[in-house]
Amino acid sequence: MSELVRLQRRDEIALIIADNPPVNALGQALRQGLLQAFQAAEADSRVRAVVLVCEGSTFFAGADIKEFGKPPVAPSLPEVIDVIEGCSKPSVAVIHGTALGGGLEVALGCHYRIARADARVGLPEVKLGLLPGAGGTQRLPRLAGVAKALEMILGGAPVEAGEACEYHIVDELFEGDLTDAGLAYARRLLQEGRGVRRSGEQTRGLEGTDNAALIAARHAEVVKRSPGLFSPLRCIAAVEAATRLPLAEGLERERELFLECLNSPQRAALVHTFFAERQAAKIADLPVDTRPREIRTAAVIGGGAMGVGIALCFANAGVPVKLLEVGDEALQRALQRARDTYATSVKRGSLSEAAMVQRLALIEGITDYAALADVDLVVEAVFEDMAVKQQVFERLDAVCKPGAILASNTSSLDLNAIAAFTRHPEDVVGLHFFSPANVMRLLEVVRGARTSHEVLASAMAIGRKLKKVAVVVGVCDGFVGNRMLFQYGREAEFLLEEGATPQQVDAALRNFGMAMGPFAVRDLAGLDIGQAIRKRQRAILPAHLEFPTVADRLCAAGMLGQKTGVGYYRYEPGNRTPLENPELAPMLAAASREKGIERRELEERYIVERTIYSLVNEGAKILEEGIAQRSSDIDLIYLNGYGFPAWRGGPMFYADSVGLDKVLATIRELHARCGEWWKPAPLLEKLAAEGRTFSGWQPDRAG
């Protein structure tokens, strides 16, 4: 027997115990152990039933994701589950924690399933660019029905044990000890003469509904909502096979479709993202014994859209939060904004009335800094102006208790200068939320030159508590996300001067997979915001660098985007659909003429390379400067804050998958033709010359 699986006999019951920390992932040794244990139970004539439990915090959390992309080693999970389901003695899976992916598939291979009341089960493979490839697409619809199976397989979110019970995925809930519950259930089975009951032989879930219509509807929805995604349509095809083929043939079809997904570049990108999220939490130079400070109460300074959004984040996480505005009128407006946001969620059905009341009770409006004396963390979210920040931080420094963490939500100002306004720069950190703060998952945690280890660890912990993807970044203009965005936006504008229209650029980048095109984003945010940043950039960047002029022309004409009804596009009142702005064409023509550019048709590929590679080149500089810890952190920032397509893995992973030599060759061409902005990053040149990737590079091994 494998070291990861133990087999014990308890009277006439075989107890199989799996133990593969941290999450009982079904790697090769565990699969081998399970196979042998079930075979041994089958062969032992004294055994009349089998109970399967897992040690540790969870039932099997799925296949071992680290094995994907490597040569397969037998036995495969489908082979193991075949043996489990084929066993002639009834088996019981005892689920606790999360039975996910291959883990739920193992449970579905068992003849009965019981779950601890707080357990959850799910098939999240789609999030990794896969489909459930060990029978999940065939067995789940047979038990839970096609509609529920498609919901779980396409959505990837786990369901609570109680719900799983309603849908016949689980037979019974229990509380208390896993082994006791499993053995008691197996004894009852034997007493009641209930024998083998194979999920694969059930048909209840497939009967009584128009499965073809359900499948067609989900198919149409996926085509509309997730164009470009590889695995969802294959998930549907596999479930469709379950509705018309016998189990064995359905499993074969599932296997074919699974292998297509496994070998797709999208799977590689999404698995990269899975590990990137877990890596981001690791900070190389943080001593392992660093203890985060406890954050029991928080405060937000500034009740604008950003400040209110941040306050909502705390309330959503159950943390009492004080929201400070300068006068009562502004405060009441801010509190009303909070109420309105929750009311919209209640109307949409995503929040209960009771939860809204509870969360609003956690938000206390204040106008007096003195009320901040007892809070553990303050997040400043006031106007982006150093003089205003100075006032705020000096006042915070005067009133907050020793050890309170003082955070700034600045998106581009120098955090070290802000920290210097206080007597405790070691307690100052940046918490850069993205708008709308209560929706966007990204949190840039800005580490100042003097931010203490403890404060950094606390900032990461609060990020986790707020359910954000928290990524550590260093201090520079724009940090990681906006510093790269500056390059991207500038190149998009240059494309307008070369001959493209906003429609063409936006469409090319949407086809690439970006959630929105750059000009639609600018119109949404307001062109005046970018104007302040452009002014500052011009003041600090070398004079020989050339800037595009279209945005400034629009600003000068009062065309600031959606808020004025016209920007790069025109908008009908109350409608966000972008229409052509007829006044733009002459502006573009003038911008080109003044620079002596003859406007020309631009290819989609050129548009994509010119914008996306500007992100890559700047990302390489950011990496080399140590502003980001690793390339996957940059990827996470773009995936979670800037609408970069998840299935491309982020800009740095995308560049790795294109090949850094090819990316560099294009950047060199652009450098020769478009000037100094395109000077290749030295790190990119070095890695391309050595045939390496950003993912494989680490600063300490850089040499």
Which residue of 13, 128, 161, 169 would you call a contact of ligand 3H9, by CB under 6 A? 128
SS3 for 385? coil
Instruction: For the segment 559-618, give every residue that binds ligand 3H9 (CB under 6 A).
Output: none
Least distance (Å) from ligand 3H9 to the CB of residue 50? Answer: 22
- 123 and 144 in contact (C-beta within 8 Å)? no
Q: Rounded to an integer, what distance in angstroms lies between the CA atom of residue 181 and that of residue 567?
A: 65
Give me 127's structure tokens.
């999030």
Residue located via tokens 């079904």: 26
229 binds ligand 3H9 (CB under 6 A): no
Least distance (Å) from ligand 3H9 to the CB of residue 125? Answer: 5
101 binds ligand 3H9 (CB under 6 A): yes
Region class of 629: left (phi > 0), else alpha (psi between -120 and 50), else beta: alpha
- 124 and 156 in contact (C-beta within 8 Å)? yes
Q: Rounded to an integer, what distance in angstroms lies between the CA atom of residue 340 and that of residue 338?
A: 5
- Give the nearer residue to ligand 3H9 in terms of CB position, either 99 or 588: 99
Give me 573's structure tokens.
């009142």
Residue spans of alpha helices (H) in 362-452: 386-399, 415-419
SS3 for 408? strand
For residue 323, give every residue at least 6 positions away whose Cβ sits within 8 Å of its Cβ, in sequence order, or none.
Answer: 299, 300, 303, 307, 308, 311, 331, 334, 335, 338, 363, 364, 365, 366
680 binds ligand 3H9 (CB under 6 A): no
Which residue of 33, 129, 133, 141 would you call a contact of ligand 3H9, by CB under 6 A? 133
- Give the nearer residue to ligand 3H9 in terms of CB position, either 58 or 211: 58
Q: Could you say which of 125, 277, 491, 618 is catalytic?
A: 125
Least distance (Å) from ligand 3H9 to the CB of residue 427? Answer: 28
530 binds ligand 3H9 (CB under 6 A): no
Least distance (Å) from ligand 3H9 to the CB of residue 261? Answer: 10
125 binds ligand 3H9 (CB under 6 A): yes
DSSP readout, 586-622? Answer: HHHHHHHHHTTPPP----HHHHHHHHHHHHHHHHHHH
- 146 and 209 in contact (C-beta within 8 Å)? yes
242 binds ligand 3H9 (CB under 6 A): no
For residue 505, give every residue at least 6 positions away whose Cβ sits within 8 Å of its Cβ, in sequence order, or none.
Answer: 492, 495, 496, 517, 518, 519, 607, 611
Cβ count near 195 (within 10 Å): 13
457 binds ligand 3H9 (CB under 6 A): no
By CB under 6 A, the count of residues binding ligand 3H9 is 25
- Give the nearer residue to ligand 3H9 in terms of CB position, either 77 or 445: 77
- Give the nearer residue to ligand 3H9 in terms of CB position, either 280 or 456: 280
- Give the nearer residue to ligand 3H9 in terms of CB position, either 21 or 195: 21
Instruction: For the segment 35-64, give every residue that binds ligand 3H9 (CB under 6 A).
Output: 58, 61-64
- 389 and 418 in contact (C-beta within 8 Å)? yes
109 binds ligand 3H9 (CB under 6 A): no
Which residue of 41, 77, 106, 413 would you call a contact of ligand 3H9, by CB under 6 A? 77
516 binds ligand 3H9 (CB under 6 A): no
SS3 for 482? helix
95 binds ligand 3H9 (CB under 6 A): no
- Give the nearer residue to ligand 3H9 in terms of CB position, either 86 or 659: 86
- Give the nearer residue to ligand 3H9 in terms of CB position, either 103 or 309: 103
**105 carries an active-site annotation:** yes
- 280 and 640 in contact (C-beta within 8 Å)? no
Give me 681's structure tokens.
């990053």
- Give the nearer residue to ligand 3H9 in terms of CB position, either 281 or 525: 281
Instruction: For the segment 478-507, give every residue that binds ligand 3H9 (CB under 6 A).
Output: none
Q: Rounded to an integer, what distance in angstroms lies between the CA atom of residue 412 and that of residue 477?
A: 5
Stretch 302-341: interaction string toward ligand 3H9, x if CB under 6 A? ----------------------------------------
CA distances from 352 to 25, 160, 315, 513 (A): 35, 18, 14, 34
Phi first, then psi, for residue 97 (nearest 5°) are: 65, -125
Q: Which residue stretch of 46-54, 126-134, 439-447, 460-468 sits at the interface with ligand 3H9 (rule: CB under 6 A)?
A: 126-134
Which residue of 124, 307, 463, 645 would you call a contact of ligand 3H9, by CB under 6 A? 124
Which residue of 87, 134, 471, 533 would you call a contact of ligand 3H9, by CB under 6 A? 134
Paired residues of 299 in beta bridges: 322, 378
CA neighbor of 142 nearest in space, from 252, 258, 249, 239? 239
Give me 39's structure tokens.
């075979």
Least distance (Å) from ligand 3H9 to the CB of residue 35? Answer: 14
- 264 and 230 in contact (C-beta within 8 Å)? yes
- Give the nearer residue to ligand 3H9 in terms of CB position, either 466 or 602: 466
Which residue of 65, 366, 399, 461 would you call a contact of ligand 3H9, by CB under 6 A? 65
149 binds ligand 3H9 (CB under 6 A): no
Q: Terminal CA-to-CA distance of the chain, rounded, Å?
A: 46
Which residue of 70, 278, 348, 600 would you call a contact of ligand 3H9, by CB under 6 A? 278
102 binds ligand 3H9 (CB under 6 A): yes
- 261 and 128 in contact (C-beta within 8 Å)? no
Q: Rounded to an integer, what distance in angstroms lies between the CA atom of residue 511 and that of residue 505?
A: 10
33 binds ligand 3H9 (CB under 6 A): no
Least distance (Å) from ligand 3H9 to the CB of residue 324? Answer: 34
Helix, strand, coil % (nearest 5) of the chain? 55, 10, 35
Least distance (Å) from ligand 3H9 to the CB of residue 218? Answer: 19
- Give the nearer residue to ligand 3H9 in terms of CB position, either 56 or 526: 56
Q: Rounded to an integer, what distance in angstroms lies between the CA atom of residue 635 and that of residue 619?
A: 9
Q: Could you say which of 3, 67, 85, 105 is catalytic?
A: 105
Least distance (Å) from ligand 3H9 to the CB of residue 160? Answer: 14
Least distance (Å) from ligand 3H9 to the CB of residue 438? Answer: 22
SS3 for 87? coil
Which residue of 23, 429, 496, 607 would you call a contact of ligand 3H9, by CB under 6 A? 23
- Give the nearer residue to ligand 3H9 in terms of CB position, either 66 or 204: 66
Sign of the Cα torsion 446, 452, 453, 458 reads negative
Which residue of 90, 109, 132, 548 would you call a contact of ligand 3H9, by CB under 6 A? 132
Q: Write out the residues near ligand 3H9 by the rule CB under 6 A.
A: 22-23, 25, 58, 61-66, 77, 98, 100-102, 105, 124-125, 128, 130, 132-134, 136, 278
Catalytically active residues are 105, 125
